Amino acid sequence: MMRNIAFALLIGGLVGIVGHVRKKGKIVKPRKTKKFIYLGFLEEVLMGALSAVLLVISSDVDSLYKVVYISILAGIGGDAVLEELNVFRTDQKTAIPEDRKKDA
């Protein structure tokens, strides 16, 4: 079981890095601003690895191929969760809906 968890961590983290590079075009390093800490690529790595481990543990797989397959799917799913969270982070008051942009 520990071998499955280790592979899930590794594969989920790698899928997280690939998703980050696909989205941003480069690897963005973590940085600290006055108000908060921006995790950069570590955010996607942690989300992909965590989702892969949780899915592998909950599905109780016995084959290494199933672990790899489930970890890749979970890493992609972790990327989708982060994209949904970015929707909530944007300021809704300043965003202009598409139908109002035509009138302006």
Q: Provide the residue ranges of all domains of the chain, joining segments of one domain with +.
A: 2-90
pLDDT at 50 over 70: yes
Whether pLDDT at 88 is above 60: yes
Q: Which tens digits make up the pLDDT trace of 60-69?
A: 888 888 888 8
Across 38-61, average pLDDT = 86
pLDDT of residue 91: 53
- Model confidence at 27, in pLDDT bands (50, 70, 90)? confident
Average pLDDT on 78-102 reads 62
Q: Which residues contact 103 (CB under 8 A, 6 or more apart)?
A: none
Which of 56, 79, 54, 81 is CA-nearest to residue 66?
Answer: 56
Torsion over CA: 83, 89, 94, 100 (sign): positive
User: CA torsion sign, 24 to 25 to 27 to 30?
Assistant: negative
Its pTM stands at 0.70
Sign of CA dihedral 54, 58, 64, 69: negative
The amino acid occupying position 12 is: G
